[in-house]
Structure 1
Amino acid sequence: MDFSSPERLIETLPFSRNDTTAGSESELQTAVKGPAGSVDLPLAIGQSSFFSNVVQRCKTGETTSRAITGIESYLSDNQEQVWENSWVRFPLQRLSPFARQVLDRDLKESKNDPQSASRKDIDRFLFYKGEEPWLRIPVSYLLKLSLADFLGRVSNLPDPCRKTGLRLLDHFLNDNTSPETHSFYIQVPHSTGGCGKAVVREKALRFLFTQLLVHHADQSFRLKELGQETAVFFSPHAPIRQKLLNECIPDSFYRELFMSPCLSGWDCGEDKHAYMALCHEVLSRSQLNTLTKLRESGILTHNLITLPNISNISLANNGTHLSLGSRLLGAALADPHSGFTPAHEKYAGDLVIKIYEHFLPLFVGLYSAAPYRLDFMDFHPEKALGFLAHELHYTHLRMIWRRWKKKAKLKVFQKPITPFGPVWLDSTIRAVFGLRGDYVPDWRLLDYLVCLMSTEGCPALDGQPGNQERLAKDLMHLGVFHEKMPLYLFCRQRIRSVIGYSGFESRFFSLFENLGEDLGGAANLKQLILLMAVRLVATGRVTPRSIPDLPFAESERRQIAFASAIGLPTFFIRSHSPNIFLKQLIRPAARVRLSSRYTGYTRVHVAEYRRSCLEFLKREAGDLVALLGLEGTLEDLALRVREPEKASAFGKLNRRILQDTGVRHPFKLSAEEFNLAAEKVYRDSLRLGHIAEGLEILQEGFKFNSPLSRHVQQHEPAFLRQTQGGRGGLRFQETLQHLRQGTLNPVRLEVLMKLLLWTFTYEREQSDRALATAPSGARASVY
């Protein structure tokens, strides 16, 4: 960094112009549509020893029929015949030889050892139907196998595209339940305009490519003929029907049905599968342990509670992880003479994260959202508050719970009321007093453990090496977490010595209504905030004393993000808070007053806090905005802050859901009806909208005489001419219609996939060329 002048400083800061690299990770929802007699999930349930044992126990009178009624209802009451997170099954012989080769390797205990034995659980995947061998796999692995099958079937695929396709096989992974893909190449943004456009371009094309792999699997493996229509899409929270099933089955059977076997991406898939089981067991136990904290905090005041299920379903949520890296930091860490050490990286990184967390309300609900309706009967604190007891101090937890009940109008004769427990009683109270529940902007951030509060002796962000490992161990002894799991945070530092690059990964993005508008704006805003935070740290204007490493202070700043996710209008901070930076942000805010309820506290409106954060960015980062060319991003942010119902991600998703249902307000539907309708929107119209974005970006890349089209012209001129029209040619609007209707023929599909492979080949070459000009040590994977 060059401190000779302010102008030189901002140009040489990490995350400045020409320094930032970007990448993203997408967690995707899957569903298989078809009759119960054809789809894997209902077949697996019906044929399981668990189901058989429950039936036998009911027949002998050892248990009541209630134990089986819920499962039978799940299997029979499915008018749309949509089975979320189901696996697929088809004859093994439908795989091409190369796809079979990939499968055989992935079914080994150790993929890197050709002499390795098969996985011990191989019988889960291979079985006989009559005399014919069949294969059953999760959709996450179906995507990889579909790509391998395409590469094996298309004989005239140019060598650069084939190499790209082979490389992309390792980019199709899985989360605990869902498919997971990560960037096909590192995005190196242009000098102006921020990183948003590059991030959107890659993610949209990757999503489009994923959709084409689904189509190829349907055609080549003839899944539709077998009564299995597969869909892959963005959806933020665990499916409603999966939650209902989870209430009827034990945690081990839930893992058997829904947890990914980790066939792709790891050398020893069974070891990774065991780790996934550990995560589910830990979070399930962790939620049970919130009961003690809720009692200690005074929220639970009697013994009548509804126990959370021992099987926690929160790991079925889906979001986007957005990573930004700094080539300057990577080069400095790689150079032993730079004077910048891993200890400096850790110290500065933790402080940058603490600054960044103050601006989370600018993202939550505004750029990403997860709209969700809660029924009155969902307002048991032990269920509605999710993991908040592990994320917030008791004081802030009580404040949020009181304000949330007020927002949801849970009052009878001016007295607050929550469900008692017995369904017949609660449903009667709901009907008699018209208690409708609530509607929140981002349920994913409430239903999932997105961050962990520090303990008094183990701060998570004090800049000391090993602090998060010490905290994870401390939390393990408290029954909250496990030391083998990486610490959950809103924003996680990526350490070069561990992950290969130096930067920050945001893990709180739920669902984007429009990739170009929402994801692009969020990526630009993140880059701006990181650049501003680095300057504040580098110039000494913000120090660890400005943002103390105390659990209460940590909870105080994070409560604002959770208040934004719930849609609360206000929050409270101590009037004499030791968080100097937070007070600096709040001081100019309008409508701030001393609380009449909480002595020694100041009441702040969330909307005014957002406006104050925006003004802070304009005031403190105006020169950075000009340097990055992000004037349009701040104008867009101002509109979202000023008119969230119209311009925010939550507002746009809400309008889309209401238009699809034909009602004017979310409370015109029951909570279950609304949430199921939202899932249908994500599965259908929103998925098609994201496909259209990808096609538009692809078409733009191949416009006449563009660098990409010239690149393809040089290597495969006949193919490029074919895409311009004529027999077998690709007309993008017609293609979009065929994608909407599921009628994309094999010829169009092959052309479209080759266009994308050429695009990824070209973009990777451009990325490698840009990274080659960076200092040594700056080039690193974003995953």
Structure 2
Amino acid sequence: MKNSSGIFNYRHNREGQVYHLYSHDIAGLLGCSIRTADNYIQSLPFSVNDTTAGTETELQAAVIGEKDAVDLPVSIENSNYYANIMRRTASGDSPKRLMADLDCFLNINPELVWENSYVRFPRSTLSPFADAMFRRDLRANKDVKMSELRTDAHRFVINHRGEEFLRIPVSYLLKVALADAISHKPSIPHVIQRTGYELTRNFTNDNTSPETHSFHVVRGNLRDGIGKAIAKDVSRRFLLSQLLVMYANKKFLLARYGQQATLYFSPRPPLRQKKLNACISDAFYRDLFMSPCLSGWNDGEAKHNYMHLCHEVLSRSHLNAVVKLRDAGILLSNLAILPRTSSPSLANNGIHLSLGSRKLSGLLQDRGSGFTAHHEKFLGDLVVKIVEHFLPLFVGTYSAAPCRFDFGEFHPETVLGFLPHELDYTHLRMLWRRWKKKTKMKLFNQPLTPSGVPWLDRMIARSFGLKGDIIPDFRLIDYLVCLMSTYSSPALNGGLGNSISLKKDLSDLGIFHTKMSLYLLYKLREYNAMGFSGFEGRHYSLFEGFDKDVGHAGGLQNLITALAFKYILEGEVTHSHIPDDPFIESERRQIIFGAAVGIPTFYVRRHTSNLFLKRIVSATSKVRNSRRYPGYMRIEISEYRKALLDILAKDAAALIEMFCIENTMKDLRERIYDFDGYSVSSRLIRGILNDKRKNSPLDMDSDEFNSTAESYYRGSLKRRHISEALSSLKEDLKIIDRNIPNTNNDLSKVLRFVVHDAGAAQALEVLNDDVIEERASLEGVIKLIYLILVVEYVDQAAAKREEVTDGPAPIHRAGNA
């Protein structure tokens, strides 16, 4: 696949000046020429000593309690919106069903779970330090001491029976709890106070869900690779978040006032929130659920307004997708289930995994290096295009978001989500036809479409055994995870500013907005914008485990990114091999979405101009010419994954050896060759079914399966995640028990303050079961919070020592929505 000229054709500016960049010239700038570097593989960007990593996790928050005690139902019942709907219903101006649905949401809630509700508690329970932090976060500009308050500051302080209460989202509760825990008494050691204060910055909340980002930039080592470090980072933040919620429930007297906050991994918008969204206005939905952005931004109110914009744009975009379905020939009449003017898609939760290159960041920081933002963008876009071909290895395999649909719900305008904005019409029609075939929606061998009348569709489904479908990862369908280029504005052609042009085009089409960050499955993080040069993987949904899934996925992402640079710097893949054409872009991305839906096949033009995809297909077994689509090849996704595995084993052999990730490759092979046994989607489905003692998802209707999934994530899976995180922490504490008493007297004093004369690992062992079952005492929770802060202090100190030896690591910042 070598370009005979060895030339990257790169059109840089509007005047049409053409830059010819030779692969060996770029390799020379990077100091990793295959002809001159002594250790060529080790000199590549994202090699074993070059890669840094950071993650951003989105969790699902909920408050458990009776309707009269929890903020969400109380806020709805006390709202002008609710009063107006009551009046309009009584006068006949609004349908009675609207009021009935709203009352159903408020009054029928057997599990008493109110997702994304705020909490209310007495302000007097805060320590002076935590209260001071809250007062600062209410400023319109946090950098100015005498700044006036935000215009919405009154929303977060209320009067309850003559006492001042705080009213805040759970996402902000985490930060307040951490500030309180490190300051609730004066004798707390400075190491704990300082480390805890620094970590308060890592608890942000620009989206509906609580978000945390890495406490420090992590690096791998020759023994464990980067994956182990990433998994430990994610598990530690998850555990600290759990402990902070437990702390808040007790210290802030939430239980006394009928509330129990809870936090867990859950990839999709809660069912009840979606039902509420269907019976209230878009403005009221935003008022209830859009994050106030109290933490993480100097001007939180401006960020809050930005999130309003995101919701408005995505809601409008979802409506416009229906029009595109008609234009694509999928909707054959004007009869359609119109989406609401309010989309809950921003409530989807995932993990963003960013990898940074010390080499690239250092060269871009050094203005005399000759390596500029032009090179970064040119190489970065090509890396993204290469990596997208490998993303089917991850979807459903390492992360998933299983979702069940009944026959009556199987309307294209409902289940195809944002795909009309992400795929070319040809691939969209192909995917929809294959998806319908998978569901076996036929009657007397004729395709059958639900009528849209619920009682009639239920009767038809029961009468003819039409069970609908279960799909592996609906988050990738239900959220706008990437945007297709336009013919005039390609997103990944290597030109600086190309995303600005594309956003302008998409804004004109009513799909996106120029103020929003461009959505991509694998995204270049540019040095000038982020402070580091690297890539962010945004294709991850829910992981079942940390080491087993997060760790292996992180190592695999690092391997593929390094391999992409190897291809480019050796001149094997250029932009001309993967043309910047919306159809070609859609051709490779259809495989990702097909894997998310769980269809077995996809189609590629026999003479596709995507030479890189053509090479992968040529290595794929069981490929045949399509009888239905002349000029196309029919390819099985399972065989395509096997071909990718073989290509990695061959082309990345030296990298695999360098990264010491032979176990990851073995694990990947098991997941691909026995998808039903080892993939995350299959394991999650088994866990969900075990909670109901069912044999198949199709033995349950969609409401039962999807609500059981939420209960499983909130219960059994959360306990498993806590248990694994505690085990990881115990490993760290054993190391501290062995080393700290002999090397650091100051830290020994801190440990004695926390655990007295017991060992740190022993103290954890005593509390282990109580933490998993969330019955630990306040004193026990505080002890574990302090131990995590000690471990984090030790790790950060070690990272700083590495910086002295190797130079500073790039700073990874959380990505935008």
**TM-score normalised according to structure 2 size:** 0.94
Structure 1 residue 261 and structure 2 residue 281: aligned? Answer: no
Structure 1 residue 741 and structure 2 residue 760: aligned? Answer: no
Match 1:751 to one of 783, 799, 808: 783
Decide whether the 8 Å contact of 1:367 with 1:512 is kept in 2: yes
Secondary structure of the structure 1 residue equivalent to 2:324: helix
C-alpha deviation, 1:5, in angstroms: 5.9
Provide the rounded CA distance (Å) in 1 between the counterparts of 2:700 and 2:785.
41
Aligned residue number for residue 65 of structure 1: 96
Aligned residue number for residue 468 of structure 1: 499
C-alpha deviation, 1:765, in angstroms: 1.3
Structure 1 residue 671 and structure 2 residue 702: aligned? Answer: yes
- The superposition leaves residues 375-409 of structure 1 with CA deviations (integer Å, 9 ceiling, x where unpaired) of 11221111110000000000000000000011011
Provide the rounded CA distance (Å) in 1 between the counterparts of 2:741 and 2:648.
40
C-alpha deviation, 1:712, in angstroms: 6.2
Structure 1 residue 274 and structure 2 residue 305: aligned? Answer: yes
Aligned residue number for residue 691 of structure 1: 722
Provide the rounded CA distance (Å) in 2 between the counterparts of 1:562 and 1:118.
45
Structure 1 residue 324 and structure 2 residue 355: aligned? Answer: yes
Secondary structure of the structure 1 residue equivalent to 2:215: coil
Provide the rounded CA distance (Å) in 2 between the counterparts of 1:576 and 1:242.
46
- Aligned pair in 2 of structure 1 residues 730, 118: CA closer, same or farther (>3 Å)? farther
Secondary structure of the structure 2 residue equivalent to 1:545: helix
Structure 1 residue 55 and structure 2 residue 92: aligned? Answer: no
Aligned residue number for residue 224 of structure 1: 255
Structure 1 residue 578 and structure 2 residue 609: aligned? Answer: yes
Match 1:353 to one of 375, 384, 393: 384
Decide whether the 8 Å contact of 2:55 with 2:214 is kept in 1: yes
C-alpha deviation, 1:111, in angstroms: 1.1
Aligned residue number for residue 527 of structure 2: 496
Aligned residue number for residue 32 of structure 2: 2
- Aligned pair in 2 of structure 1 residues 494, 708: CA closer, same or farther (>3 Å)? farther
Secondary structure of the structure 1 residue equivalent to 2:99: helix
Aligned residue number for residue 45 of structure 1: 76
- Aligned pair in 2 of structure 1 residues 104, 241: CA closer, same or farther (>3 Å)? same
Provide the rounded CA distance (Å) in 1 between the counterparts of 2:679 and 2:741.
36
Higher alpha-carbon deviation: 174-183 or 518-527: 174-183
Match 2:517 to one of 486, 503, 518: 486
Higher alpha-carbon deviation: 673-682 or 408-417: 408-417
Provide the rounded CA distance (Å) in 1 between the counterparts of 2:605 and 2:410.
28
Decide whether the 8 Å contact of 1:328 with 1:775 is kept in 2: no
Structure 1 residue 456 and structure 2 residue 487: aligned? Answer: yes
Provide the rounded CA distance (Å) in 2 between the counterparts of 1:365 and 1:121.
41
- Aligned pair in 2 of structure 1 residues 421, 582: CA closer, same or farther (>3 Å)? same
- Aligned pair in 2 of structure 1 residues 498, 478: CA closer, same or farther (>3 Å)? same
Residues 225-374 of structure 1 correspond to what in structure 2 (within 5 A)?
225-374=256-405
Structure 1 residue 385 and structure 2 residue 416: aligned? Answer: yes
Higher alpha-carbon deviation: 335-344 or 493-502: 335-344
Secondary structure of the structure 1 residue equivalent to 2:219: coil
Structure 1 residue 770 and structure 2 residue 802: aligned? Answer: yes
Provide the rounded CA distance (Å) in 2 between the counterparts of 1:281 and 1:155.
47
Decide whether the 8 Å contact of 1:728 with 1:747 is kept in 2: no
C-alpha deviation, 1:729, in angstroms: 9.1
- The one-letter amino acid paired with 1:403 is R
Provide the rounded CA distance (Å) in 2 between the counterparts of 1:320 and 1:141.
19
- The superposition leaves residues 734-775 of structure 1 with CA deviations (integer Å, 9 ceiling, x where unpaired) of 422112332211222222111101111111111122233334
* RMSD (Å), alpha carbons: 1.6
C-alpha deviation, 1:526, in angstroms: 0.5
Higher alpha-carbon deviation: 44-53 or 735-744: 735-744
- The one-letter amino acid paired with 1:156 is S
C-alpha deviation, 1:679, in angstroms: 0.5
Provide the rounded CA distance (Å) in 2 between the counterparts of 1:633 and 1:399.
33
- The one-letter amino acid paired with 1:749 is V
- Aligned pair in 2 of structure 1 residues 707, 343: CA closer, same or farther (>3 Å)? farther
- Aligned pair in 2 of structure 1 residues 56, 24: CA closer, same or farther (>3 Å)? same
Structure 1 residue 26 and structure 2 residue 57: aligned? Answer: yes
Decide whether the 8 Å contact of 1:237 with 1:318 is kept in 2: yes
Secondary structure of the structure 1 residue equivalent to 2:225: coil
Provide the rounded CA distance (Å) in 2 between the counterparts of 1:425 and 1:616.
50
Match 1:626 to one of 639, 644, 657: 657
Provide the rounded CA distance (Å) in 1 between the counterparts of 2:436 and 2:782.
54
Structure 1 residue 514 and structure 2 residue 545: aligned? Answer: yes
Higher alpha-carbon deviation: 555-564 or 88-97: 88-97
Aligned residue number for residue 747 of structure 2: 715
Higher alpha-carbon deviation: 183-192 or 81-90: 183-192
Provide the rounded CA distance (Å) in 1 between the counterparts of 2:575 and 2:773.
56
Aligned length: 782
Secondary structure of the structure 2 residue equivalent to 1:26: strand
Decide whether the 8 Å contact of 1:286 with 1:479 is kept in 2: yes
Structure 1 residue 682 and structure 2 residue 713: aligned? Answer: yes
- Aligned pair in 2 of structure 1 residues 38, 499: CA closer, same or farther (>3 Å)? same
Provide the rounded CA distance (Å) in 2 between the counterparts of 1:175 and 1:697.
29
- Aligned pair in 2 of structure 1 residues 436, 133: CA closer, same or farther (>3 Å)? same
Provide the rounded CA distance (Å) in 2 between the counterparts of 1:655 and 1:730.
34
- Aligned pair in 2 of structure 1 residues 708, 574: CA closer, same or farther (>3 Å)? farther
Aligned residue number for residue 107 of structure 1: 138
Match 1:505 to one of 533, 536, 547: 536
C-alpha deviation, 1:719, in angstroms: 2.8
Identity of aligned residues (%): 47
Provide the rounded CA distance (Å) in 2 between the counterparts of 1:462 and 1:727.
57
Provide the rounded CA distance (Å) in 2 between the counterparts of 1:709 and 1:10.
40
Secondary structure of the structure 1 residue equivalent to 2:335: coil
Decide whether the 8 Å contact of 1:350 with 1:463 is kept in 2: yes
Secondary structure of the structure 2 residue equivalent to 1:716: helix
Aligned residue number for residue 416 of structure 1: 447
Higher alpha-carbon deviation: 767-776 or 202-211: 767-776
- The one-letter amino acid paired with 2:780 is R
Aligned residue number for residue 201 of structure 2: 170
Secondary structure of the structure 2 residue equivalent to 1:455: coil
Provide the rounded CA distance (Å) in 1 between the counterparts of 2:66 and 2:642.
51
Higher alpha-carbon deviation: 54-63 or 310-319: 54-63
C-alpha deviation, 1:431, in angstroms: 2.2
C-alpha deviation, 1:159, in angstroms: 1.2
**TM-score normalised according to structure 1 size:** 0.98
Structure 1 residue 143 and structure 2 residue 174: aligned? Answer: yes
Provide the rounded CA distance (Å) in 1 between the counterparts of 2:435 and 2:481.
19
Structure 1 residue 529 and structure 2 residue 560: aligned? Answer: yes
Provide the rounded CA distance (Å) in 1 between the counterparts of 2:754 and 2:162.
44
Decide whether the 8 Å contact of 2:61 with 2:262 is kept in 1: yes
Aligned residue number for residue 26 of structure 2: none
- The superposition leaves residues 573-628 of structure 1 with CA deviations (integer Å, 9 ceiling, x where unpaired) of 00000000001011121111000100000000000000000000001010110011
Structure 1 residue 541 and structure 2 residue 598: aligned? Answer: no
Secondary structure of the structure 1 residue equivalent to 2:668: helix
Structure 1 residue 432 and structure 2 residue 492: aligned? Answer: no
Provide the rounded CA distance (Å) in 1 between the counterparts of 2:723 and 2:660.
27
Structure 1 residue 195 and structure 2 residue 226: aligned? Answer: yes
Higher alpha-carbon deviation: 764-773 or 528-537: 764-773
Secondary structure of the structure 2 residue equivalent to 1:153: coil
- Aligned pair in 2 of structure 1 residues 595, 72: CA closer, same or farther (>3 Å)? same
Match 2:106 to one of 75, 78, 81: 75
- Aligned pair in 2 of structure 1 residues 515, 7: CA closer, same or farther (>3 Å)? farther
